[in-house]
Structure formats: structure tokens, C-alpha cells
Copies of this chain bind each other. A is one copy, B any other.
């Protein structure tokens, strides 16, 4: 994504690391530990830039990608699959059909899961209705049906 140094003299601000890991954590809602973990596990597109102090410097592009990762994770995609997806992106444009397939399969699983959860939730809400009914009838009048 975005090959710098192809056109202008200024190398594209988006790919230049400016955010500390604490910033990145705040921006993405992850912990610094999780960010390091994601990098170790190959979920990022490249290793994050370093300052001379060897501190990580996240670019805006990095943050954008990490936000996408949190969305995948937030819909239950396992780390392993995120890694695969990242590998495809890294491998170049010709993997776009494969990426599409991966995302669509994920979406289908999520939709199935959503339906299933809603179904289960309905049963629970039914139960709630029963308890509520009993609370309404039992509390004010006392000694009805028992």
C-alpha cells in the first residue's frame, strides 16, 4: 500500500512514523502489549518504524491498518486468519481475489453467528418476560397463584 518516493520529494506523511506506542494504543483502543504482540505475530504489514531510541513510531497508515485489524478481531476473526489476510496484502495486488474470498467467508460466518446469537437471545428474553410478569403480579397483590 502506497509506494513512497515515486513522485514528490517529500516522502508522503502517511507512511512516516510519528506516533509513540502509547499514542497508537490510545488511538486504536489496544494495549501497548497487544500492539507489540500483533507485530510479533505478523498481523501488521511491515515492522513498525523505529526512532533512534529504538522506540516504535507508528505512521497513520499503520494506525489505519491496525484499526481494520481491530474490526476483524472485533467480529471474531482469529489471529491466525488476520495473519493470513495480512500476508495476502503483503504479497501484492494479485491476491485481491483471495482477500475478497477470505473476507466474504468471514462475513458469512459472522452473519451466521449473529443470527444464532439473536435466536439464543430471544429465548433469554422470553425467560426475562416470565420473571417480569411474575414480579409484576406477585409484588403488589401478594398471594396470587400461591
Contacts and interface: CB of A to CB of B under 8 A. Distances in A.
Interface of A: 68, 71-72, 74-76, 96-97, 99-100, 103-104, 106-107, 110-111, 114, 116-118, 120-121, 123-125, 127-128, 131-132, 134-135
9 contacts: A71-B124, A96-B134, A97-B135, A99-B131, A100-B128, A100-B131, A103-B128, A107-B124, A114-B118
A102 to B, nearest CB: 10
Q: Please give the count of copies of this chain that the complex contains.
A: 2
A96 B111 CA distance: 34
A131 B103 contact: yes
A103 to B, nearest CB: 5
Contacts of A114: 114, 117-118, 121
Contacts of A127: 68, 103
